[in-house]
Structure 1
Amino acid sequence: MFDLVMFDLDGTLVDTATDIANTANDVLESIGYAPLPHAQLRNWIGHGSRELMVHAYSHASGASLDAVRRCAGGDSLMEVFSRFHAQRCGQHSRVFPQVRETLQILLDLGIGLAVLTNKETRFARLVLERHQLQDFFDPVIAGDTLTARKPDPLPVMHCLREHGVEPRRALLVGDSTIDIITGRNSGVRCWVVPYGYNGGVPIRDCAPDRLIDDLSSVARAAQGCDAGSTDSPIQHEETASWP
């Protein structure tokens, strides 16, 4: 069914929200601001740590998002983030159920596996290594690997070229609207899990190709035994618009 399966990392393979939120609050507290609720910070995960901190700093300081993005101190703030996250990364994260088993089944079937994340390379690899997942994936495409990141189609197209796979024989598995748009932009199917990070918006409302309960559905599909699944295929129209 598939020759290549590409996976998002945060919220799809590994629950990293606590570590990311703790890091964001470390940064805020280090510059004199009160910590923000984890639930609020969780809603800003998905576009990379810089964009997360743009939202967090904007909310804490009262400055507009545009003003924060133009701020000359952004690089210094991200250096602080990187220092704290090197300690936090992998500290409280956990692999979601059925992930390791599914990856092993797909690997045994000879299916190519890749990670597409907007997380920086340093931390993407650290999360994978700390959970012994790194050997499943080639390549790992992070937010700073190429000249563009999700939802731009470049990361997907890069993986397709690396594996010599046509879009119709590939699948992207994620947890957010970013992943869904990436799939549309690159011409590959996108299946999503309901337990990840999507800015507080139910992922079903974002018109994925398929909503799956967990990654075991990918393994069943690859094994040709997907009949009778309780997962929900989503019908979407050509005129669908994206948030």
Structure 2
Amino acid sequence: MKLYPAIDLKDGNCVRLLQGDYNEVTIYGNSPAEMAKKWESLGGDYLHIVDLDGAKEGKGINEQAVRDIVAAVKIPIELGGGIRTIEDINCQLDRGVDRVILGSAAIKNKALVKEAIETFGPDKIVVGVDAKGGKVAIEGWLEVTDTTALGFCKELEAMGVKTVIYTDIAKDGMMQGPNVEETAKLVEATHLDIIASGGVSSIEDLEKLEAIHVHGAIIGKALYIGAIDLEEAVRRFK
């Protein structure tokens, strides 16, 4: 199981939101590049970066911070937030980002997903499936659709998508553990590489995720408040 330390960018800072609420912001540092180097030095093998301002505005906002992170580390980076077009994807890949995450854009514009897979290949495109009560949420989690997470994942698989990041919004930033049951349904019902996100708060949570055979787990707040020691987690799950 791969471990993905998370860096969320807002106004050029490293932050965490509570359940995706832009009014519930905790700042954990003003140098995303230094934070990226820290997680790399502790054994993180892939960084998960989200441009929160970009997700809200529908275009890349924290571009300088992304450039700084790419320049600071050797491990690969996946980036989401505000990536809406083929040009956006191309720009980020050219910049040195290893793969891009399509979020709201994926459910609103399935043709984009298909074109992105055909243009860049399935290893360069990840789709973020964010759910609330089993239904997909979009626009920085501000709008819940009628589409089920499982139904959407099956559609994505049929389009050639290989990797999905599944986030249960109710769990995100709450330190109450991930939604193992819903995540397991996606693992069992598809052949996708499922990366679990939201609520990972302890080594025990990671063990539960490993037991349902997820491809990877994103760790955010738990790293920043010291609830999970990344070096210990890497030793345990590599």
TM-score range, shorter chain: 0.3 to 0.5
Higher relative contact order (CA closer than 8 Å, sequence separation 6+): 1
Per the normalisation by structure 1, the TM-score is 0.33
Which has the higher Rg, Structure 1 or Structure 2?
1
Structure with the largest fraction of helix: 1
Structure with the largest fraction of strand: 2
